[in-house]
A = this chain, B = another copy of it.
Amino acid sequence: MHRFQYVGKQLYCEETPVAKIAQRVGTPFYLYSIGTFLDHYFKLRDAFKPVDPLICFSMKANSNLTVLKALVENGAGLDIVSGGELFRAKRVGVDPRKVVFASVGKTPEEIEEAIRAKILMFNVESAQELEAINAVAGRLRTTQRIAIRLNPDVAADTHHYITTGRKENKFGIHLKTAYQLFMESYRYPFLRFAGVHIHIGSQITEAKPFIEAVRRCLEFIDGVRYAGKTTVEYLNIGGGLGIIYSKEKPQTAQQFADAILPLLKGYENRLRLVLEPGRFISGNSGILVTKVLYKKKGQNKKSFVIVDAGMNDLIRPAFYGAYHEILPVLRHVRSKVEKADVVGPICESGDFLAKDRRFPAAEPGQLLAVMSCGAYGFVMSSNYNSRPRVPEVVVSGRKFYVARQRETRNDLIRNEKIVREVLS
């Protein structure tokens, strides 16, 4: 699954002891195993090999330049959601024909930048957005490929903040409206209605909702084809593949491909499959390393283990109620197991990494690894409580490198000044 393993008492990332890195860079820090990112990417690529899909890594999950570069060098495309992500994508030299742009709120400036960059396709979320892209493409005297994001109204069993394929969500266009748009594609002379897109949610562990959604897409594509108005060339089935955080038993890449590929029989020659995996590739590929500062007895024999990483560094437990396994970086086989909340230094009760967790008694100075932090970890971090953001360290085999430096205090106030004119 991933390359964070104990060798004796020591937790290793690939062939590098985590404790050694902590000693050099200090805590807290994010630690990425480049090998694990690539493993997951290759698994998906290999499973879908029969149809040679375009795999666009959903970089909102992890946009570290070194991580992106490693994936892109190995053939991956990128799924972007903003002008800022386009900027990063360009930095790592991705082939623009492997870039798809999703977002319900693309600004005219972002649209123009993406058209100029010659990206493959926009995933379009509303009729007004079609008009906006058409207008910009017209102004730039070009024709732009777009995919319509369908809202298939499929229920996926996941956190309500990350289910995106229900009719009550802001995402996608209802099938009837979407059909109408395809029928009236002549109204958008600078657009090519080239694809159909779905993304039904995140951290989905079973194949069923995907199968249902793909079936609805194919029916839709057949309908559009039957009407003879346009030819759909791309079927983008989004991301959302679940990973193991705790006791989940998610489908493997192979199981997923085995469920999806049969549905595509007969479409192989006229429909290119696009995948947008984010968490599947990155989730288990990173950890957050933190140090115990204090231990405090609470009521009911429960302890609070206070660590130096807070919700500003990793917001998932507080924001999504997410579970992250926590392991000692140095394992003491005989240490007593006790019940504790692992909490950060932030002045909020929501600042926790784990609640009521039974694990080996942690003492001040000890290092802990918060597992499965490669997706939606660093990218969601903030300077809340004026805390500089932590470094991102990458490992490849026996070597580690700081890919993003720890912020300094001067970074906190970089764009700020004291406006003396308002002082009386």
A341 touches B170 (CB 8 A): yes
With an 8 A cutoff between CB atoms, is A380 at the interface?
Answer: yes
A105 touches B387 (CB 8 A): no
B295 touches A128 (CB 8 A): yes
B421 touches A403 (CB 8 A): no
A63 touches B343 (CB 8 A): no
Mask of A132-173 contacts with B, CB within 8 angstroms, 1/0: 100000000000000000000000000011111001111100
Give 26 A-B contacts (CB < 8 Å), ordered by A residue. A60-B347, A60-B384, A65-B413, A66-B417, A81-B346, A82-B345, A88-B413, A91-B413, A102-B347, A103-B347, A104-B306, A106-B293, A107-B293, A129-B294, A161-B348, A162-B348, A163-B349, A164-B349, A167-B299, A170-B351, A318-B319, A399-B421, A401-B419, A401-B421, A405-B415, A405-B416
A396 touches B422 (CB 8 A): yes
- Closest residue of chain B to A72, judged by CB? B423
Task: Write the nearest CB–CB distance from A361 to chain B, whole angstroms.
Answer: 14
Task: Write the nearest CB–CB distance from A65 to chain B, whole angstroms.
Answer: 5
With an 8 A cutoff between CB atoms, is A335 at the interface?
Answer: no
Q: Which residues of A contact B (CB under 8 A)?
A: 34, 59-60, 63-66, 69-70, 73-74, 81-85, 87-88, 91-92, 102-107, 125-129, 132, 160-164, 167-171, 174, 177, 293-299, 304, 306-308, 310, 318-319, 341, 343-352, 364, 379-388, 391-392, 394-396, 399, 401, 403-407, 409, 411-424
A82 touches B162 (CB 8 A): no
Task: Write the nearest CB–CB distance from A98 to chain B, whole angstroms.
Answer: 17
B161 touches A306 (CB 8 A): no
CB-defined contacts of A64 to chain B, threshold 8 Å: 416
A170 touches B105 (CB 8 A): no
| Whole-angstrom CA separation of A169 from B399 in the bound complex | 41
A105 touches B310 (CB 8 A): yes
| Whole-angstrom CA separation of A106 from B295 in the bound complex | 12
Of B84, B296, B299, B405, the residue contacting A388 (CB under 8 A) is B84
A294 touches B126 (CB 8 A): yes
